[in-house]
Amino acid sequence: MALGDSYAAGPGIPRSGGPCARSDHNYPAMVAEGLPPAPYTDVTCTWAVTADMTSRQFGVIAPQFDALGRNTRVVTLTIGGNDAGFVEVMGVCAGLSQVDPQGAPCRDHYATSGGDEIAERVERTVPRIGDVVEGVRERAPRARVLVVGYPHLIPESKDSCAIEQPVAAGDFPYLYGVERKLNTMMAAEVTRHGAEFVDLHPSSAGHDICQAPGTRWVEGLVQVEGADPGHPNINGMRNAAHQVLAKLGRAG
């Protein structure tokens, strides 16, 4: 059983479609191929937030939790990025980079003397992820629950990445810190709620959005491998599937 947002659904990867832009070459599909034959359901959906586990997404797509049952044995879940507003953040940071390409305008915009808005969003989001895990365990008490984190998106430092993802030079460490914070807090939270965390960050290092085509596992504004901007391409999905299967003891 696969639950989650676009980082699980795989929008833009070949043979994706429907209202959720779900690909049949996303990591849940690859995980299913690597496990013994069994009924398999993928309800991941682009733009999903934690509330969409129990509410109709866009008012029409059934709550993802509706797919769970007492016979569910394995659940994968990737969620939280949309709750924290990461797509909006990347858009704002891209725009600000044009004004001050060598500074840190994104950090200065979000991190003021009153606090860091993005850090606060992450801190509000993580308990919701814990609640989702609890909801899964209530509805699928026999299931092994694996929460899959987010991959390495932005390098820790770089002078420019204007074509792939416009970011000011001084904002690379700031945005890198944000993605690390989310993954680190997710890991602690879901473990506390009895799930297993699959950390994609170490295995995807060196394959971030600023790398050359063929090396990067996350597509930029200029898409080469067939995935929505800022999302894993098929190689990123292969890595995610490999890490999940390794956690399940099934990696080849």
Tell the burial category of 234 from Cβ atoms under 10 Å away from its Cβ (0-12, 13-18, 19+).
buried
**192-242 pLDDT tens trace:** 999 999 999 999 999 999 998 899 999 987 778 889 999 999 999 999 999
- Residue 184 identity (one-letter amino acid): T
* Predicted local distance difference test score (pLDDT) of residue 118: 96
* Predicted local distance difference test score (pLDDT) of residue 251: 63
Mean local confidence (pLDDT), 83-101: 92
* Predicted local distance difference test score (pLDDT) of residue 93: 92
Give all domains of the chain, ordered by start, each with its CATH number.
Answer: 2-78+125-154+180-247 (3.40.50.1110)
For residue 134, the surrounding DSSP H or E stretch is helix 117-139
pLDDT averaged over the chain? 94
CA distance 189 to 200: 16
**153-184 pLDDT tens trace:** 999 988 777 777 889 999 999 999 999 999 99
Better-scored residue on pLDDT, 182 or 17: 182
Judge contact between 146 and 73, C-beta under 8 A.
no
pTM recorded for the entire structure: 0.95
**Number of other CB atoms surrounding residue 173 within 10 Å:** 16
Tell the burial category of 44 from Cβ atoms under 10 Å away from its Cβ (0-12, 13-18, 19+).
buried
* Predicted local distance difference test score (pLDDT) of residue 96: 95
Residue with tokens 């704002």: 92
Chain centroid to Cα 183, Å, comes to 10
Q: Residues with catalytic annotation?
A: 6, 231
